[in-house]
């Protein structure tokens, strides 16, 4: 390249770089879905009298019966509306780590008044990673709130199988609430 061309290119370079036709405008930031303000409070279930020990035992019996029918070994916990343990059962051979997980699932379902599957979906499908920062959250299905007469009376949590197995057994147990 000739010295004249090099000099011309060096002199034009600052003008070309500053030219608006060549500059890219920054993309507008994406809307934050968390900025949406719902009209009504989600999961607004009023608290009721806590689940009784007899009710908890009936639900655990139903859950264990369903698990035995399917040859699944699970841990089942029932908590009251405040997330306090009312009753627990560990099936023979159920994995030990799932003892505390079943209690955690029940506690989360009671405290947040929703199935733990909602947290799983929020993280895995909606990328709501902030959910992991909330106290006492477990983002794995198998925690079901217990509602009687439109009021939250407790929750049931199951663990030891896959999340979908835990959820099936919890629903069987919750169905026995009377």
Distance CA(67)–CA(65), nearest Å, equals 5
Question: What sign has the CA pseudo-torsion 135, 44, 169, 65?
Answer: positive
- Per-residue pLDDT tens over the stretch 28-53: 787 776 788 888 888 889 999 999 99
β strands within the chain, DSSP E:
75-80, 85-90, 143-148, 151-159
Q: What pLDDT, on a 0 to 100 scale, did the predictor assign at position 9?
A: 54
Q: Give the global pTM.
A: 0.80
What the block records as the tokens of 67 is 């698990």
pLDDT band at 25 (very low <50, low <70, confident <90, very high): confident
Helix pair angle (53-70, 163-174), 10° resolution = 130
* Averaged pLDDT for residues 10-25: 56
Q: What pLDDT, on a 0 to 100 scale, did the predictor assign at position 21?
A: 53
| Residue 100 clears pLDDT 80, i.e. is over it | yes
Lowest pLDDT segment from 64-78, 120-134, 151-165: 120-134
Query: Taking a C-beta distance cutoff of 8 angstroms, is the pair 174, 56 a contact?
Result: no
C-beta neighbour count of 171 within 10 angstroms = 17
């Amino acid at each position: 390249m000739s010295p004249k061309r090099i000099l011309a290119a060096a002199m034009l370079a600052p003008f070309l770089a500053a030219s608006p036709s060549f500059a890219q405008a920054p993309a507008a930031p994406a809307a934050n879905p968390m900025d949406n303000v719902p009209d009504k409070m989600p999961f607004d279930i009023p608290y009721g009298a806590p689940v009784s020990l007899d009710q908890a035992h009936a639900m655990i019996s139903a859950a264990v019966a369903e698990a035995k029918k399917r040859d699944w070994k699970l841990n089942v916990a029932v908590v009251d509306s405040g997330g306090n343990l009312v009753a627990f059962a560990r099936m023979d051979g159920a994995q030990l780590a799932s003892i505390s997980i079943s209690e955690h699932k029940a506690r989360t379902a009671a405290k947040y008044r929703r199935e733990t599957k909602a947290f799983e979906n929020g993280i895995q499908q909606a990328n709501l990673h902030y959910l992991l920062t909330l106290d006492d959250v477990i983002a794995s299905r198998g925690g079901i709130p217990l509602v009687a007469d439109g009021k939250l009376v407790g929750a049931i949590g199951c663990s030891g199988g896959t999340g979908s197995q835990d959820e099936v057994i919890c629903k069987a147990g919750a169905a026995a609430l009377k």
